[in-house]
Amino acid sequence: MVPEEQLIIAVDGPAGAGKSTIARLVAKKLNILYLDTGAMYRAVGLKALREGISTSHEAQIGDMLKKTDLDIRFIDQEQRIFIDGQDVTNDIRTPDVSMAASDVSALPVVRKALVKIQREIAARQPLILDGRDIGTYVLPDAPFKFFLTASASERAKRRLADLRGRGDQASSLEAVRMDMERRDRQDSERAFAPLRQAEDAMLVDTTQLTIDEVVDVLISKILDRQVS
């Protein structure tokens, strides 16, 4: 069994691969905290949209961050995101915010600020983080790394189902697929901390797997590791 102090788990992958859902369930089974790093970038993107700031203008976004209070609170083991005192957890899951998050995440000033917070949290306690550069940039020394993926069509179906569950009846499957492919391409091609699989990460294709099956794969890998 891996000692609790070494239980830091990095989960990366493209949109719709099931990262957040899987990470939350693994956290519950292992009784550790789950940190949704993507939600942090979405919150920054949301504020930029609300203030009419270009999500690709680094200087303007940097100035905005200086006047922004980004707070992460764990309430009943669930992460809630607050911007300037307002809970925006339920406001950050729209396609527009997804693209804004992709834009701002490509800006070094944003990534450096948020990664600093993420590393501080990871240094204090065992936890699982999911994102697009956790294993390669945020926590390159994490003892457990996974890269989740799935076919583009399957990922689009999952994301559309998620949007429907949140009350979005307007988005179409084709529009969601195109948005995801554009975001994946942008995140993979960005110069700073791009989306890619870490060399020591375990690749898990979730296309034909149920949520429980994916969770079992990760849990088994983690629990089978013996301290050398």
Residue spans of the domains in the chain: they are 4-216
| Model pLDDT, residue 193 | 78
Total number of residues shown for the chain: 228
Q: Does residue 145 sit in helix, strand or coil?
A: strand
| Model pLDDT, residue 195 | 84
| Model pLDDT, residue 37 | 87
| Model pLDDT, residue 13 | 93
* pLDDT in 10s for each residue of the chain, 228 residues: 455 557 999 999 998 898 989 999 999 999 888 988 889 999 999 999 999 999 999 999 999 999 999 988 888 767 899 999 999 999 998 889 988 998 998 899 999 999 998 998 899 889 999 988 899 999 999 999 999 999 999 999 988 898 888 888 888 999 999 988 888 888 888 877 788 999 999 999 999 999 999 999 999 999 887 444
Distance of CA 92 to CAs 40, 60, 100, 140, Å?
A: 9, 20, 10, 27
The CA R_g of the chain, rounded to the nearest whole Å, is: 17
| Model pLDDT, residue 4 | 57
Full-model pTM? 0.79
**Angle made by CA atoms 171, 110, 140, in degrees to the nearest 5:** 100
What is the edge-to-edge ordering of all strands in the sheet holding 86-87? 70-75, 78-83, 86-87
Torsion over CA: 27, 3, 135, 47 (sign): positive
Domain 4-216 classification at class level: alpha beta
AA identity, residue 75: I
| Model pLDDT, residue 95 | 84
Residue 51's contacts (CB-CB under 8 Å, 6 or more residues apart) are 64
